[in-house]
Amino acid sequence: MAKLILKFEDRVIRELPLDADAVTVGRVPDNVLVIDNPTVSSHHARASRVDDSYVLEDLGSTNGTFIGNRMIGRHRLQDGNEAVIGKHTLVSTWRQQTSLRDGLRLRLTSSMTLDETRDFYREALEEQG
What is the Cα–Cα distance from 15 to 113, expressed in whole angstroms?
38
The chain-wide mean pLDDT, for the chain, equals 84
Whole-angstrom CA distances from 12 to 4, 9, 72, 90, 91 are 11, 8, 23, 10, 10
What is the Cα–Cα distance from 91 to 44, expressed in whole angstroms?
16
What pTM was computed for the model?
Answer: 0.71
pLDDT 10s digits, 36-50 = 999 999 999 999 999
Q: HSE on the CB side for 21, CA within 13 Å?
A: 0
Pairing of strands 3-8, 88-93: antiparallel
If DSSP codes are grouped into helix, strand and coil, which group holds residue 8? strand
What is the Cα–Cα distance from 103 to 82, expressed in whole angstroms?
26
Of the two residues 22 and 1, the one the predictor is more confident about is 22
Check residue 24 and give its pLDDT. 96
pLDDT 10s digits, 67-125 = 999 999 999 999 999 999 999 999 999 875 545 555 554 444 445 566 666 676 677 67
The pLDDT of 18-22, averaged and rounded, is 90
Whole-angstrom CA distances from 17 to 10, 55, 66, 114 are 20, 15, 21, 39
Model confidence at 59: pLDDT above 70: yes
The pLDDT of 40-65, averaged and rounded, is 95
